[in-house]
Chains A and B, each alone.
Chain A
Amino acid sequence: MSDTTRTAALFGLVFAMIALTGFMQSWNVALFILNMGLISAIMALGVNLQWGFAGLFNVGVMGFVALGGLAVVLTSAAPVEGAWSAGGWRIVIALLAGAGTIVGTVMVRQRMAKGRARTIATLSILVVGFFLYRGIFDPAVEAVEAINPALQGNLGGLNLPVLLAWPMGGLLAAGVAWLIGKTALGLRSDYLAIATLGIAEIIIAVMKNEDWLARGVKNMVGLDRPVPYEIDLQNTSSFVNRAEGLGLDPATASSLFVKLNYSMLFTVVLVIIFVMAQLALKSPWGRMMRAIRDNEVAAEAMGKDVTNRHLQIFVLGSAVCGIAGAMMTTLDGQLTPGTYQPLRYTFLIWVMVIVGGSGNNLGAVLGGFLIWFLWVQVEPMGLWLMEMITVGMPEGSGLKKHLIDSAAHMRLLTMGVILLLVLRFSPRGLIPEK
């Protein structure tokens, strides 16, 4: 079997499975899998840029995805009335003061000669800066969070079209990635893994606790949509007529229609990012990236340039994850910081990349669809399996109940097994890099 037919067959298989879901379960589920599959594929593309093409180990994907989600709120939500005057500006000033403190510290350390004077200067800048920051920040936050706390208590956003939030998500993620990359890349060796692991947890902690930002764990619901609302469609007579013409009830039809709209939007984004990634990697820049990856001697001779290129690709890859994160939050229509978990948003993406084929963009896309499909479908399959296993057990047996209740956890097990099997028997992934 040639490479192309193999690739086509694999993709065909995945889409056939999704279609089968449509026929056997419901088209709503199938489209849900398809939409999240599209988003997963984009995330996998981002990680593949970093790991596949530059060997950068990013275990903080979750953080960038969450930043994308935050960008949706900050871009598309309506500004909360009075929040900016109540304390919004003071929060900005406080944050600037905080940033200024760090910049000041770094500058003092660069300018002044080593010694006690420098230590004292550093410490005093840090202490004064910290209290200044907290002094402005705390009352401002209190003021903002006091505004209609049951429904708001945050600053709100810029009230821009929600589609703009997607590139904004990319930008936000890129900015944070640049900061991390700047500190964690290019010393004698990197420490990107631990840095990303930590920063992702911090991003989630900030999003959970800073209510003024996006209401923290109180969640932002009812975010803007780039597609029509189901209820509006159901109240449009032309739509209802068309649905009935197809033999569908309006509720199902509207839900399918909305999901299809999303599918099309996401497909457009996926195609754009995929084509750009392919073009970039075929360009001299991409060839250089791979040369660095594959040939350490040349890489060391290039010295600082390697660090810069690693930084570039790390920022790009993270931006792609940010875009995907923004798309996901748009699809959900809500931002719920409590639901971001590393297993789901970092390590599962890694499974997608490794299973699909590190270093191959098509592989990453395939991995995204396939692993997402399994992630969703293993649960019902596990339940079915457990029911088969326990069929002989007496009704009301504790073990039977436990097995059936625990079936939901089968998916983690399954993902681990799949990852290990692929790593062992097809270490280059399903669609290997050429």
Chain B
Amino acid sequence: MTGNPYQDDRGNKDATIANPKGGSDMTPAMGTGKEMNTTDAFLVGDSMTGGYGKDGPDILHDCTIAVNPGEIAVIVGPNGAGKSTGMKAVFGMLNLRQGSVRLDGEDITSLSPQDRVAKGMGFVPQTNNIFTSMTVEENLEMGAFIRKDDFLDTMEQVYGLFPILKDKRNQPAGELSGGQRQQVAVGRALMTQPKVLMLDEPTAGVSPIVMDELFDRIIEVSRTGIPILMVEQNARQALEIADKGYVLVQGRNAFTGTGKDLLADEEVRKSFLGG
């Protein structure tokens, strides 16, 4: 039983009355009441502490991540370290107990995810990051949902970035390969023309060749001036292109530095990069 009686379904799994698919269990951010201000950057998640649900255990402990325009910041760390949780926290999909999130100097800690999208943030989650029942083009359209202006140019740009998507524009996205899906996911996030892009393991389940290509695309995006905050499993490769690297361990900042510094660091290499 959870604490909230309205969420107690008594283990019922009767799909003729309750739709198990596509629902949401996130708790939108409502501000922390404990502001923190330790660093300054374009986008900062500052000293964040918190976990899932009303009274779940803390997953993040005083964790800080930040990124500046023109930069690629990479978060690495073992499975379950809290990387995805950190990203969600920055995007307002988690109710933090302590810390602040600031975008371009403005405190956005209490904004809901939708409002953060409106402020110019784009996010590609690690899982369920496309609308599987909708076509590729509709996925991109949904990405541009908040835009009132003509977004066909942006769509052409995305197709330019990921030509395969143009061929598959009328196919349901759920019928694409893993790598193609990731491209749709990134494309969807780019459609808002975000001021900052957050990617959670964009190369998950992608072959090495496609991965290299995706990294190239990401660098390309970053060259246009969009700051990119990204979680990566392929730590070595990611740190090579990173301007800034964060190593998270059990929800804490274990190491922070430039990508090169971290790659050179003896301890980081031993424990996280396999020697």
Contacts and interface: CB of A to CB of B under 8 A. Distances in A.
23 contacts: A54-B10, A54-B11, A55-B9, A55-B12, A56-B12, A56-B14, A57-B14, A57-B17, A189-B15, A190-B13, A190-B14, A190-B15, A190-B16, A191-B14, A192-B16, A193-B17, A292-B11, A293-B10, A294-B1, A296-B11, A359-B10, A427-B5, A428-B5
A87 to B, nearest CB: 39
A304 B6 CA distance: 28
Contact of A193 (B1, B5, B14): B14
Interface in B6-43: 6, 9-17, 20
Contact of B14 (A189, A294, A427, A428): A189
Contacts of A55: 9-13
Interface residues of A, number: 21
A55 B12 CA distance: 5
A290 to B, nearest CB: 9
Nearest to A185: B14
Contacts of B15: 189-191
Interface in A291-308: 292-294, 296, 299
Nearest to B6: A427
A137 interface: no
Interface string A35-53: 0000000000000000110
Nearest to B9: A55
Chain B contact residues: over half helix, strand or loop, or mixed?
loop
The 10 closest A-B pairs by CB, nearest first: A55-B10, A55-B12, A427-B5, A189-B15, A293-B11, A55-B11, A194-B16, A191-B16, A190-B14, A193-B17
A358 interface: yes
Nearest to A188: B15
Interface residues of B, number: 13
Interface in A50-80: 51-52, 54-57
Contacts of A299: 11
A358 B9 CA distance: 11
Contacts of A57: 12, 14, 17
A222 to B, nearest CB: 41
A388 B9 CA distance: 43
B14 A358 contact: no
Contacts of B1: 294
Contacts of A192: 14, 16
Contacts of A52: 10
A51 B16 CA distance: 16
Contacts, number: 45
Contacts of B12: 55-57, 190
Contacts of A191: 14-16
A107 to B, nearest CB: 28
Nearest to B14: A190
A182 to B, nearest CB: 16
Nearest to A59: B17
Contacts of B20: 189
Nearest to A296: B11
Contacts of A293: 10-11
A189 B15 CA distance: 6
A140 to B, nearest CB: 37
A309 to B, nearest CB: 11
The residue among B12, B14, B16 with the most chain A CB atoms within 10 A of its own CB is: B14
Given A427-B5, A427-B6, A428-B5, A294 B11 contact: yes
Contacts of B14: 56-57, 189-193
A358 B5 CA distance: 11
A56 B13 CA distance: 8
A286 to B, nearest CB: 14
B53 to A, nearest CB: 16
A294 B3 CA distance: 12
Nearest to A306: B11
Contact of A358 (B6, B10, B16): B10
A194 B18 CA distance: 11
Interface string A248-278: 0000000000000000000000000000000
Nearest to B5: A427
Interface in B221-249: none
B16 A193 contact: yes
Interface in A356-402: 358-359
Contacts of B6: 427
B119 to A, nearest CB: 34
Contacts of B17: 57, 193-194
Contacts of B5: 427-428
Interface string A347-363: 00000000000110000
A358 B14 CA distance: 18
A178 B53 CA distance: 39
Interface string A392-434: 0000000000000000000000000000000000011000000
A15 to B, nearest CB: 28
Given A52-B10, A193-B16, A193-B17, 7 more contacts: A55-B9, A57-B12, A57-B14, A189-B13, A189-B20, A191-B15, A193-B14
The residue among A52, A190, A292 with the most chain B CB atoms within 10 A of its own CB is: A190
A141 to B, nearest CB: 34
A428 B8 CA distance: 10
B54 to A, nearest CB: 15
A134 B15 CA distance: 36
The residue among B11, B12, B16 with the most chain A CB atoms within 10 A of its own CB is: B11
A190 B14 CA distance: 5
Nearest to A57: B14
B163 to A, nearest CB: 38
A55 B6 CA distance: 14
A334 B45 CA distance: 73
A355 to B, nearest CB: 14
Interface in B186-213: none
Contacts of A427: 5-6
A57 B12 CA distance: 7
